[in-house]
A = this chain, B = another copy of it.
């Protein structure tokens, strides 16, 4: 139960560095607004870069703005072990979503320096560009371009609400790097992130051993009935699009619960037309998504959903259009990397459980090219994408220590 080593990260230094980073884009309510490729992001990146260089790391930037801070290893022939996350935030975001994984990586580097450890393999700390997608509408952009999910040209052409393109924004803040944004050979990738959900807190677990990411299917649905006067239209003449939508929302909830605790099914966005008190809604547009660790379950759910939603619409004389936006297969993480996380947590005596990531993370795209694992730590009330996002220093320290152990073990493994 006692740690194998006394090689401990410095929780106070980690926390202070997290608070330092949170000054960039700090909001009055204690959150962070650090939109990708903004002036605030530039200042945060510069601060991060300066800290990396002060720790003796060499910083490269690729063509989509991803930053790689390298600590050399003893054996120049070995592939680097990557770790990291993202420094951009939601418009009303918190201090820890993304920043924890990057700043904890910095703390890992500093600890290696303090302990004068030379790892066999080099280690690289990554700050992925635009994980959130809040400004340009495309989440996981930096890791997506790097992994070849999107082309660089497509990403450069995306514009924000003011018409500024990603390409122009990269130039403006000086982070359009020379290195091509494409996968380079790497030995592993580890990402520490807050859970953004309630499971670890509810079960009093310190560490989530993330075994992979859920499969997802996303739909846009439009139900079309007939708008008419709420006072004059008798029941038999109504084609109320909102009543049909309501039954479909209930259906989504039922299909989710039929899959037990691993099921996810959500209608998050909904618009009513004409949205007037005394007019029966003629049209309702809404989003539907299902997620499950098992891709086959998502396929089954998508089929059940489409069939039953069409039947509900038909029963009310409404038309329905169900447009599948995309389907993401389940992404299992690398068994050996996951095992390093599991072993580290056990060795350190941290309470832990396996967990499947419900949110999208850069790690999911990186995992297409590099053996990958993630580490989750609890966040208060499962709250994220919110200025009230909150974690404890001890929770951050535990996650960082597991990251340290896993990265060190991987970088020093016998090939």
Seen from chain A, the residues whose Cβ lies within 8 Å of a Cβ on chain B are 195-199, 202, 214, 216, 218, 227-237, 240, 242-243, 245-247, 249-250, 253, 256-257, 260-264, 266-270, 272, 275-281, 287, 289, 291, 357-360, 382-386
User: Measured between alpha carbons, how far is A231 from B264 in the docked complex, in Å?
Assistant: 6
Chain B nearest CB from A387 CB (Å) reads 13
Residues of B near A218 (CB, < 8 A) are: 277
Residue of B nearest to A234 (CB): B261
Chain B residues with Cβ under 8 A from A281's Cβ? Answer: 267-268, 270
A256 CB contacts on chain B under 8 angstroms:
235
Inter-subunit contact B243/A253 (CB<8 Å): yes
Main secondary structure of the interface of A (DSSP, over half): mixed
Q: How far is the CB of A378 from chain B (nearest CB, A)?
A: 12
Q: In the complex, which of the residues B237, B247, B276 contacts A269, with contact meaning CB atoms closer than 8 Å?
A: B276
Q: Are A268 and B233 in contact (CB under 8 A)?
A: no
Partner pick for A270 among B216, B275, B291, B358, CB 8 A cutoff: B275
B232 touches A382 (CB 8 A): yes
Distance in Å from the Cβ of A329 to the closest Cβ of chain B? 15
Please give, as numbers and ranges, the residues of chain B lying within 8 Å of A257 by CB-CB distance: 235
B266 touches A230 (CB 8 A): yes
Please give, as numbers and ranges, the residues of chain B lying within 8 Å of A197 by CB-CB distance: 228-229, 231-234, 237
List of 7 A-B pairs having minimum Cβ-Cβ separation, nearest first: A197-B232, A231-B358, A232-B358, A246-B249, A230-B266, A246-B246, A277-B287
Contact A268 B243 (CB under 8 A): no
Note all chain B residues with C-beta closer than 8 A to A275.
Answer: 268-270
Q: Are B243 and A261 in contact (CB under 8 A)?
A: no
A384 (CB) vs chain B CBs: closest residue = B229
Given contacts A235-B257, A242-B267, A249-B242, contact A385 B277 (CB under 8 A): no
**Contact: A235 with B261, CB < 8 Å?**
yes
Q: Are A243 and B232 in contact (CB under 8 A)?
A: no
Bound complex: CA A281 to CA B286 (Å): 12
Report the nearest B residue to A279, measured CB to CB: B268
Contact B277 A289, beta carbon cutoff 8 Å: yes
The smallest C-beta distance from A252 to any residue of chain B, in angstroms, reads: 8
CA distance A277 to B243 in the complex (A): 20
Whether A280 contacts B261 by the Cβ 8 Å rule is no
Listed by A's residue number, 11 A-B pairs whose Cβ atoms lie within 8 Å are A197-B232, A229-B359, A231-B291, A231-B360, A232-B359, A235-B256, A243-B253, A243-B267, A246-B253, A247-B250, A268-B277
